[in-house]
Amino acid sequence: MRKHFAIPLALALSILTAARAQTPSPIPTPKEFFGFNIGDNYMLANYSQTEAYLKKLAAASDRCKYTVIGKTEEGRDEFMLVISSPENLKNLDHYKSISQQLAHAENLTDAQAHHLAREGKTIIWIDGGLHATEVAATQQLIETAYQLLSRNDSETIDILDKVILLLTHVNPDGMELVSDWYMRNPVPEDRSLEHVPRLYEKYAGHDNNRDFYMLNLKETQNIARQLFVEWIPQIMYNHHQAGPPGSILAGPPYRDPFNYVFDPLVMTSLDALGAAMSSRLNAENKPGYTQRSGSVYSTWYNGGLRTTTYFHNIIGLLTEIIGGPNPADVPLVPNRLIPSSATTNPITPQKWLFRQSIDYSVSLNYAVLDYAMRYHDELLYNIYHMGRNSIERGSHDYWTLSPKRIDAIDTLAAHAAPPTGTHRRAVVDTLPSRFYDSVLKNPALRDARGYVIPSDQPDFPTAVRFINALIGDGVSVDKATAAFSVAGKPYPAGSYVVKCNQAFRPHILDLFEPQDHPNDFAYPGGPPIAPYDAAGWTLAYTMGIRFDRVLDAFDGPFQRIPYGQLQPPPKAQSESGRYDCRSNASYTAVNDLLKAGKPVYRASRTGDFYTSPHGTGMEKIHPARIALCDAYGGSIPAGWLRFILEQYHFPADVIYPQTIDAGNLNEKYDVIIFVTGIIPSPTDEGYRYNRAEPVADSIPAEFRSHLGHITVQHSVPQLKKFLEAGGHIVTIGGSTALAYYLDLPIHDALVEMVNGKSRRLPNEKFYIPGSVLRMNLDVAIQSTWGMDSVADVYFDQSPVFHIDPKAAVDGSVRPIAWFATGTPLRSGWAWGQAYLQDGVAAFEATVGKGKLYAFGPEITFRAQTHGTFKLLFNALYKSTP
């Protein structure tokens, strides 16, 4: 019945609204331009074509403006299509300014904010293409642009009136690579997205979605500028693929835990948007939406394109949808077929076509835009409200709730209570409020009011890199114009100050303070539930920044840096020809000197660099011939390491397993680096990414030399020869397994004896997903030059070792770093961390005339862990006494 009436009604509406919207010239359809409809089987548009089409749309329509937000790593223009009514497009600067004022919530009364909220336009960000092989997410951008520019129904007209949409491509290079790879096969039915030969973001591949608090990549920098400095949208929507098996898509709201620094309004707004999106699909009879416990996505992590927005009071949406240009099946997953609050409208097994995924995506975009149109004033006011809350929390004593604090209350209560025979309180038990007061009103446990980053720290250039990550993400930072003191401690001029009484306070706390991840188990005593990504990542720790927390209001000769104005990176300081090896920038300066053929010496006592020999104990250093081993398709950790080598000016060759297996390695290289996943680990599944390989004649000749794996049978003997003849090998993470294949006198520290047999500790006893741990270092050896006696290191289910006593005696294996206590956790989640006590995190081993360096933790993780880069750098020079 409904259908019977729907057609004439829709027709009548479109006739009415067509009169309202004066479309200037015909908008070319995708089919007219590309020769196929978006979503046709076996067809994908690439980036160049998309760019050309959208430029054409922009020329034909007065509803959009084609803008470029920067260059990509491969040099392409990255577009952002601004879509709104012709009237709104004439006043973009005005609406941008309103959006900024409300997001910053500075110097506004509530009444002024209400007024601005009514006057402003809702700013909505919708993107696509981040993960280039997730092609439904990429192609939907084109269809969405076309529909918004060509449709004249009243909903579209009202959206254009109330909303400014920023439709942004977030990985142009990837779309060009992947679409061309898919379309290269002339036979449509034989086209495949598998085995893309290299990373779809030059350095990071899939990890381009882990860079948003660090801003290493050009695309990330471009995007963060629009999201956190320029437009600060109230809602952002990040499209991904694929939905969990048996669903069509996963969307908001997401499962627990959420990060405790968020404003609660972020979380309830996610509920509202999730309801709008799933209800729209249900109203259109589009089943298969799953949410909350129906998928693995949570809101714990910072650093993702979507998740970083929560720390800025932005409602970040992510969907993961199924479907690609090759027709597929919705599989039968019986337990997905029981309707529940996670999956209200289950999809039944059936054939699934690409066009359906595109239609779903457009419906979801419209659901978000429709919500933004209807709740226009509220969305604009709420971001102000959250910003004002942040300023309030940062202006007074405030205590953020987190599991550790609640544990402290429990512990106090347990000690105070008479013995009852049970050690666990029931959920309904109540306690006298003095237990609360003694923890959550304890002045020593207050949130910081601000942070001081002294300019006289040994690696100030890295501290400025950290400051620029904050500024690039829209945080307001002050710089001291003169010396000052806080709480009796003096600081020099040029120090940076980050105060917490600002709208993006959650982001500041998150990058300076530990993440307190809850103990999250499937059931009491059961296996841990893996966090979606890292559990802890405190950037100030992993970058090795020296800073002070200030617990009271403070002020000084501080000059506020304008929003988004990045600080010039300080150059490495040379004092009478000496470069301090505690500063990472010194390595860049030294590499430039070596490249120019200038002599450089290292003091064997301190590791400092000198441009002329200073007394005894000096070694002349030379650039090493460095090779970085990669894999077909591109290893993500190797990509990040390649990025680091380029940033610090270490010239290096990227090689593949075939080169290793061919032997004669000493003729070509002095040092070979293996990151996690390249050398197979006996306990690992091997490669984390792109493990499956194509047959050689199915790929272009230029990539065939990338095929193959490191094997114990063929590669390890060559690596052994290389070491014995004087070569050096650096292994990180899982690739430290090489030490076992070389039969070095070490063994796995993370084992237990069961029935007389040794086995790896099960996750129920020991589980440390990506977290920050403190390790101790032997500062008497060259490997640790420039490091302090302790360092914060990124640990991700990393290998830990025990060195056999005989090796300690003969000196063949020497620890570089170890866990000196049973409580090394600094940030994140470390279940059973006591097992780490006395475990060796890193060691160096003499093999013949060569040396193997083994670093269990991820010392170069995502090019973020600047505090441990030197452990790699020190291994990358040759020296002569």
- The contact set with Zn ion (CB under 5 A) reads 131, 134, 240
| CB-nearer residue toward Zn ion: 132 or 448 | 132
Question: Which residues, listed in sequence order, are joined to residue 841 by a DSSP beta bridge?
Answer: none
Asked if residue 188 has a cis previous peptide bond (ω within 30° of 0), the answer is no
Asked if residue 346 has a cis previous peptide bond (ω within 30° of 0), the answer is no
| CB-nearer residue toward Zn ion: 138 or 735 | 138
At closest approach, how far in Å is the CB of 335 from Zn ion? 24
| Cβ atoms within 10 Å of 560's Cβ, excluding its own | 12
HSE (CB half, 13 Å, CA atoms) of 829? 26
| CB-nearer residue toward Zn ion: 49 or 238 | 238
| CB-nearer residue toward Zn ion: 134 or 230 | 134
Instruction: Encode burial over 565-586: b for 16+ CB neighbours within 10 A, e otherwise.
Output: eeeeebebebeeebbbbbbbbb
| CB-nearer residue toward Zn ion: 135 or 840 | 135
CA distance 640 to 625: 19
CA distance 670 to 727: 5
| CB-nearer residue toward Zn ion: 120 or 205 | 205
| CB-nearer residue toward Zn ion: 116 or 137 | 137
At closest approach, how far in Å is the CB of 361 from Zn ion? 14
Question: Which residues, listed in sequence order, are joined to residue 453 by a DSSP beta bridge?
Answer: 496
At closest approach, how far in Å is the CB of 219 from Zn ion? 14
At closest approach, how far in Å is the CB of 137 from Zn ion? 7
At closest approach, how far in Å is the CB of 305 from Zn ion? 9
At closest approach, how far in Å is the CB of 240 from Zn ion? 4
3-state SS, residue 144: helix
CB neighbour list of residue 151: distance below 8 Å, 6 or more residues apart: none
3-state SS, residue 101: helix
| CB-nearer residue toward Zn ion: 131 or 225 | 131
| CB-nearer residue toward Zn ion: 484 or 532 | 532
| CB-nearer residue toward Zn ion: 131 or 191 | 131
Q: Kindly give the residue spans of alpha helices, DSSP state H, lying in 725-799.
A: 738-741
3-state SS, residue 244: coil
3-state SS, residue 26: coil
Residue 395: Cβ-neighbour burial (10 angstroms; 0-12, 13-18, 19+): middle
CB neighbour list of residue 127: distance below 8 Å, 6 or more residues apart: 141, 167, 168, 169, 170, 223, 236, 237, 238, 239, 305
* Backbone dihedral region for residue 250 (phi beyond 0: left; psi -120 to 50: alpha; all else: beta): beta
CA distance 120 to 126: 19
At closest approach, how far in Å is the CB of 298 from Zn ion? 15
At closest approach, how far in Å is the CB of 231 from Zn ion? 23
At closest approach, how far in Å is the CB of 131 from Zn ion? 3
| Cβ atoms within 10 Å of 800's Cβ, excluding its own | 23
CB neighbour list of residue 738: distance below 8 Å, 6 or more residues apart: 674, 679, 716, 719, 729, 731, 852, 854
| CB-nearer residue toward Zn ion: 240 or 866 | 240
CA distance 215 to 222: 9
At closest approach, how far in Å is the CB of 749 from Zn ion? 35
3-state SS, residue 6: helix
| CB-nearer residue toward Zn ion: 239 or 405 | 239
At closest approach, how far in Å is the CB of 349 from Zn ion? 24
CA distance 523 to 81: 47
3-state SS, residue 63: coil
Of 843, 774, 832, the residue nearest 802 (C-alpha): 843
At closest approach, how far in Å is the CB of 514 from Zn ion? 28
Q: Are β-strands 574-575 and 601-603 bridged in parallel, bridged antiparallel, or unpaired?
A: unpaired
Number of residues that make up the chain: 881
**Residue found by looking up tokens 């792109």 in the block:** 690
At closest approach, how far in Å is the CB of 320 from Zn ion? 7
At closest approach, how far in Å is the CB of 581 from Zn ion? 40
Task: Judge whether 500 and 474 are in contact, CB under 8 Å.
Answer: no
Of 21, 46, 26, the residue nearest 36 (C-alpha): 46
Furthest C-alpha separation in the chain: 95
What type of residue sits at position 763?
Answer: N
What type of residue sits at position 819?
Answer: F
At closest approach, how far in Å is the CB of 623 from Zn ion? 39
At closest approach, how far in Å is the CB of 241 from Zn ion? 6
CA distance 616 to 881: 10
CA distance 779 to 870: 12
Of 876, 799, 856, 871, the residue nearest 628 (C-alpha): 876
Task: Judge whether 270 and 254 are in contact, CB under 8 Å.
Answer: yes
**Residue found by looking up tokens 């609640």 in the block:** 406
HSE (CB half, 13 Å, CA atoms) of 218? 17
At closest approach, how far in Å is the CB of 813 from Zn ion? 41
| CB-nearer residue toward Zn ion: 131 or 642 | 131
Q: How far is CA 22 from CA 32, 59, 151, 152, 164, in A?
A: 22, 15, 11, 9, 18
| CB-nearer residue toward Zn ion: 240 or 728 | 240
3-state SS, residue 71: strand
At closest approach, how far in Å is the CB of 636 from Zn ion? 13
